[in-house]
Structure 1
Amino acid sequence: MEPLGAASVFLTIFLSCLVFLAAWRRSLKTGKLPPGPAPLPILGNALQLKTNNLCQTLQELGEKYGPAFTLHFGAERVVALYGYEAIKEALIDRGEEFVARGSLPIADKLNRGLGVIFSNGERWKQLRRFTLTTLRNFGMGKKSIEERILEEAQYQLEMFRDTQERPFDPTVLFSLASSNIISSIVFGTRYEYDDKRFLMLINFINDNFKVLSSPWGQLYTLFPSFMEFIPGPHQRICKNVERVKEFVLEEIKAHKSTMNPSTPRDFIDCFHMKMDQEKNNETSEFTIDNLVMSAVDLFGAGTETTSSTLRYGFLILLKYPEIQEKVQEEIDCIVGRARYPCMADRGQMPYTDAVIHEIQRFISLIPLTLPHAVLRDTPFRQYVIPKGTTIYPILSSVLYDSREFPNPKEFDPRHFLNNDGSFRKSDFFMPFSAGKRICAGEGLARMELFLFFTTILQNFTLKPLIHPKDIDLTPQLSSFGNVPRPYQLCALPR
């Protein structure tokens, strides 16, 4: 490295350390904060946060300090909420006070406050309202999107058949199927499973989820300024997102030249029409930048969350073949083999519904949910949370609450069954978060999970390559998300 370049790097790191130290000193002077472990200068509580299992660390701290406690992610002070009562109070009962999106360094850098997931204020309100309306108009929760999912399930079944009972890794297959559903809404298109460009995008999304959930992703959250200068997998995240943005921009340009305002085909067409309606409004949030980022948000979230749940769910069923068999018995009884399952069947299939809910509870896919924030000094219980503080609701503390789910660390569909075998609803079921920031695609995800699970199990019995007792269900990575361990399976026609 040239002497001038080395000096610049050193000066940047030195100045960053001064900023960290100043922020740390300020945070120690703030009174009435919830209790928490004492931070170190610059490092904050980094030494107490396990980089390979952040969720477990926060669970342990919650048990020690109670329903609200203060942590320092590097120099940033955050407040974590632990347990059903505290999270319900913040996100549901007092939703307006906790509705803001908190700081997540990698998202702050990539999204710049744009799009529907990481925006705030009036921008978020307008984009969220528009997105929910558009998703409903294009069939979310309706028969039309159910038909799309069932159609995609047939392509998925063909891929299973093509394996001819040989071992295969289902990761990409689940991602392709899930992505095609959200793609049909956002881009008005489904892509072939051998489309190299589409496969490349899926790989970018899968890679980002893994990196964000790895120790590298956690270190970036703790020390973003420092990690900018450190080589490692986290440096791929921005490159991956830029490639997805390029793809989205090409779709947007193609849509603009072929759009017919009388018959909008998808989310992009509807957004274009909204931009045209507000072209004379200088303060409009319907801009090309917000369109790009909103499409990226929907495409990424709609691909990764559902596909990871499917992948983790089938790994669980490989470990517990007796549960898989019982689901298949219910499918045979209610649906049979002459037709495919439909959403109307779910009400008559309590065991299958319970298994799918238990999968989502057990894996706690996004254990902390995305961060919230308070926009003003906010009294909470006997404390005061200062303006601008990032809030981390620990969803896993609700999903693993032993008062609601006995033996929460065990996979047990009876957590969602009454004594008479009927399905049991639970207010503690929060895999999609809760309140005003609840996942916009919750209804779509629920339909996909039910229809994909039942269609596959109607047609195939899935077998592991190792003895079921040797299957490890602990996540391979656990931070931003819980990533299942890689595996292969064999699909035997029924």
Structure 2
Amino acid sequence: MISIKSPSLTPVSCPQALLGVGCLAFALLAFMLVRQLVKQRRPPGFPPGPSPIPVIGNIFSLATEPHVFLKKQSEVHGQIFSLDLGGILTVVLNGYDCVRECLYHQGEVFADRPSLPLFKKMTKMGGLLNCKYGKGWNEHRKLACSSFRYFGSGQKLFEKKISEECMFFVDAIDEHKGKPFNPKHLVTNAVSNITNLIIFGQRFTYDDRNFQHMIEIFSENVELAVSGWALLYNAFPYIEYVPFGKHQKLFRNAAEVYNFLQEVINGFSQGRVPHAPRHYVDAYLDELEQNAGVQGSSFSYENLIYSVGELIIAGTETTTNTLRWAMLYMALYPNIQERVHKEIDSVLSNGRAPTLEDKQRMPYIEAVLHEILRFCNIVPLGIFRATSQDAKVNGYTIPKGTMVITNLYSVHFDEKYWNDPGVFSPERFLDSSGNFVRREAFLPFSLGKASFLKTSISYDWLNQVIPQRLSCLFADLR
């Protein structure tokens, strides 16, 4: 009988084990470092830009007032230059000529969205705002635009609903009886209700705590999404596993909002009659049923939740911030406020409510609104874009998939198109006869195919709520 002895195993000491783990960790770290440095190399023909810090690139440069920093860099590197956001090569467009060349003359090329880890985490690159340019984007854009026309600006009744919301808004202000208060909450709720009428067919009362909480979270997430933590997450998505940081707050907020939206959508879809939509949610569910089983369809219940959330944000944040800036600048410039009062009083006799037809008879108010949008830069960097194919701009080569930032602040302060751009002057939108005139380099909500959210809804609100008893709103500021 033959016996076989197994070879003895040499025991590994604790120091040897630690050394092995340390060597493995060092090799992994070295590999990641080399990989990151390779990602940071500018490809041939790529626009120049400020020198990046190894690994993290130019991220910290965008921590505060990024639009101002980018405009200053354009004075050094030209209207089109590049940034390194932690290995994410980015092209920045500055000045009206450069932005128009890319977003108008090459609109198809610059219409995509970047595949950023944050977008993938938040909406899986679905929904409406962050959807990749293509079939899904076109389907959702078409539905959103037709819904906003059919349930909103295309209805004469909708104008009356805006006026009614204005009255709710003014009555809520009157409850403060002339005492100081922060108008942000009331303005946000009132503006959001205009979008809610289209999305859900109903408004939310100002004392609806659940909806108020959701709006607060939306506003917070808009700020968090452009914070330094968001940029760090896009560059180093593995920090998702770090238990602290603003990115974790962003994810918790998003989960809470999506749960709330799901409940709201379920509630407002009750009693739905197929092919007889009452609002955007019904229209989307019709599309979802019609495309059930269709291969490649982008309509899904998950994308409905994402789209509703993005429409609420897009229909609320821009107009809310515009009105808040309007309040501030009316207080800062009493002479402008006085002229606004006089124009309102001359057009709206006997205290009647304004209509959109009155807009043509209020050129100075139109000029004030446009100057606020220009001077205050409601969306200074727009929404991040990406190239859908290789592009050629000003002799530079921009590869497909490159992230693109449009510095709209630089457009509105472009001295080639604006005299004394640092001065707040509504008169720049008036001709010698006092008539309103449009300005070519006025792009408050960007330009091109991917900027469709500049709907008439925002302008309807701006042109109704300010004439609507503006004298009452600012009476105590005199």
TM-score normalised by structure 2 residue count: 0.89
Who is 1:109 aligned against? 121
Distance 1:104 1:314 in 2: 36
The Cα shift of 1:107 comes to: 2.7
Q: Do residues 66 (structure 1) and 59 (structure 2) align?
A: no
The Cα shift of 1:119 comes to: 0.5
Partner amino acid, structure 2, of 1:444: I
The Cα shift of 1:313 comes to: 1.7
Q: Once superposed, which parts of structure 1, at least 4 consecutive aligned residues long, lie more than 4 Å away?
A: 11-21, 213-224
The unaligned stretches of length 5 or more in structure 1 are 1-7, 465-491
Q: Do residues 332 (structure 1) and 345 (structure 2) align?
A: yes
Q: Do residues 201 (structure 1) and 214 (structure 2) align?
A: yes
Partner amino acid, structure 2, of 1:85: D
Q: Do residues 406 (structure 1) and 419 (structure 2) align?
A: yes
Q: Is the 8 A contact 1:36 1:69 kept in 2?
A: yes
Who is 1:79 aligned against? 91
Q: Is the 8 A contact 1:337 1:458 kept in 2?
A: no
Q: Which of 181, 194, 200 is matched with 1:168 structurally?
A: 181
Distance 1:404 1:227, change over 3 A: farther
For structure 1, which segment, 252-261 or 109-118, has the greater mean C-alpha deviation from structure 2 after superposition?
Answer: 252-261
Q: Is the 8 A contact 1:105 1:224 kept in 2?
A: yes
Q: Which of 326, 329, 337 is matched with 1:313 structurally?
A: 326
Task: Compute the RMSD of aligned alpha carbons.
Answer: 2.3
Pairing of 1:472-491 with structure 2 (within 5 A): none
The Cα shift of 1:227 comes to: 6.7
For structure 1, which segment, 177-186 or 100-109, has the greater mean C-alpha deviation from structure 2 after superposition?
Answer: 100-109
The Cα shift of 1:270 comes to: 0.5
Query: Is the partner of 1:116 in helix, strand or coil?
Result: coil
Who is 2:162 aligned against? 149
For structure 1, which segment, 75-84 or 142-151, has the greater mean C-alpha deviation from structure 2 after superposition?
Answer: 142-151
Q: Which of 341, 344, 349 is matched with 2:362 structurally?
A: 349
Q: Is the 8 A contact 2:375 2:424 kept in 1?
A: yes
Q: Which of 108, 117, 123 is matched with 1:96 structurally?
A: 108
Pairing of 1:262-411 with structure 2 (within 5 A): 262-411=275-424
Who is 2:65 aligned against? 53
Who is 1:261 aligned against? 274
Distance 1:12 1:310 in 2: 54
For structure 1, which segment, 153-162 or 11-20, has the greater mean C-alpha deviation from structure 2 after superposition?
Answer: 11-20
Distance 1:41 1:261, change over 3 A: same
Q: Do residues 426 (structure 1) and 439 (structure 2) align?
A: yes
The Cα shift of 1:51 comes to: 1.3
Query: Is the partner of 1:392 in helix, strand or coil?
Result: strand
Percent same amino acid at aligned positions?
32
The Cα shift of 1:462 comes to: 4.5
Distance 2:30 2:205 in 1: 50
Q: Is the 8 A contact 1:141 1:443 kept in 2?
A: no
Distance 1:177 1:251, change over 3 A: same
Partner amino acid, structure 2, of 1:24: L
Deviations 1:370-393 (A, max 9, x none): 111112222222111012100111
For structure 1, which segment, 172-181 or 255-264, has the greater mean C-alpha deviation from structure 2 after superposition?
Answer: 255-264
Distance 2:470 2:42 in 1: 58
Partner amino acid, structure 2, of 1:112: K
Q: Is the 8 A contact 1:103 1:371 kept in 2?
A: no
The Cα shift of 1:213 comes to: 4.7
Count of matched residue pairs:
455
Larger radius of gyration: 2
Q: Is the 8 A contact 2:108 2:388 kept in 1?
A: no
Distance 1:20 1:68, change over 3 A: farther
The unaligned stretches of length 5 or more in structure 2 are 1-20
Query: Is the partner of 1:138 in helix, strand or coil?
Result: helix
Partner amino acid, structure 2, of 1:132: C
Query: Is the partner of 2:357 in helix, strand or coil?
Result: helix
Who is 1:473 aligned against? none
The Cα shift of 1:263 comes to: 3.0
The Cα shift of 1:225 comes to: 3.8
Distance 1:13 1:131 in 2: 51
Q: Is the 8 A contact 1:20 1:41 kept in 2?
A: no
Distance 2:231 2:348 in 1: 45
